[in-house]
Amino acid sequence: MDIGIVSMRYAKALMEYAKSTDKEETLYQQFHMLDRSFRKHPDLRTALENPILTIREKLSLISIAAVGNASPGREFTRFITLVLKNRRENFLQYICLSFLDLYRKDKHIGVGKLITAVPVNREVAERIRSSASSLLHAYMELQTEVDPSIEGGFIFDINDFRLDASIATQLKKVKKQFIDKNRRIV
């Protein structure tokens, strides 16, 4: 079966269950943290696919990745247990991403990422977030990242749109124009 179909079915079922129990926000926070854990520690996925680990050990591993030392909610535990009993742990990261996407669409939440060469203070990030929020007529989640390789300026990703105003990109464009212009002369 296709990865997208399986993950979307589980995510939709979880979303319906979360709505019926009014635990959408809690589950969103837990799955958001689980998504960060998957991104930060790629070995987590490998560990979940290990057939030697029991369901209880995998549940414990996922719970720690999602909520740390705190106790996971009943809804989260039940859902993860269902996924593990059905041997769908290899789809868990995709289920997580699908659930986050469904929640954001349902609650009209946009996702933005600001990449700069130097750290941005909190006030500037909040101003950018509120401006983007008013333009999109939706609440915005803004992530900031520092990448010195862009040399200056910024790169702003919002939903599926990218605004690249970095010095590195501008230099590449000038270099390309210079090379193209010189080819015509020769």
Instruction: Look up the CATH number of the domain holding residue 89.
Output: 1.10.520
What is the phi/psi pair of residue 37, to 5°? Answer: -65, -40
| Domain ranges, residue 51 | 3-105
94 in the same domain as 24: yes
Q: How far apart are CA 101 and CA 95, in angstroms?
A: 10
57 in the same domain as 97: yes
What torsion, rounded to 10 degrees, do the Cα atoms 129, 135, 139, 142 define? -30
Q: What was the pLDDT predicted at 14?
A: 93
Q: What was the pLDDT predicted at 123?
A: 92
**Domain-terminating residue out of 67, 85, 105:** 105
Number of domains in the chain: 2
161 in the same domain as 93: no
81 in the same domain as 28: yes
Q: How distant is the alpha carbon of residue 80 from its chain centre?
A: 19
Fill in the DSSP letter of residue 117.
S
129 in the same domain as 169: yes
CATH of the domain at 135: 3.30.360
101 in the same domain as 9: yes
Residues of the chain whose pLDDT is less than 50?
none
Q: What was the pLDDT predicted at 10?
A: 92
**Domain-terminating residue out of 86, 105, 124:** 105
Q: What was the pLDDT predicted at 161?
A: 86
Q: How far apart are CA 96 and CA 10, in angstroms?
A: 9
Q: What was the pLDDT predicted at 185?
A: 62
Q: Which two tokens stand for residue 85?
A: 């009993």
141 in the same domain as 96: no
Q: How far apart are CA 96 and CA 113, in angstroms?
A: 19
Instruction: Determine the straight-line distance between the first and last CA of the chain, rounded to whole angstroms.
Output: 56
Q: What was the pLDDT predicted at 2?
A: 66
82 in the same domain as 136: no
Whole-structure pTM value: 0.79
Which residues, 6 or more positions from 118, have their beta carbon under 8 angstroms from its beta carbon?
146, 148
**Domain-terminating residue out of 105, 129, 157:** 105
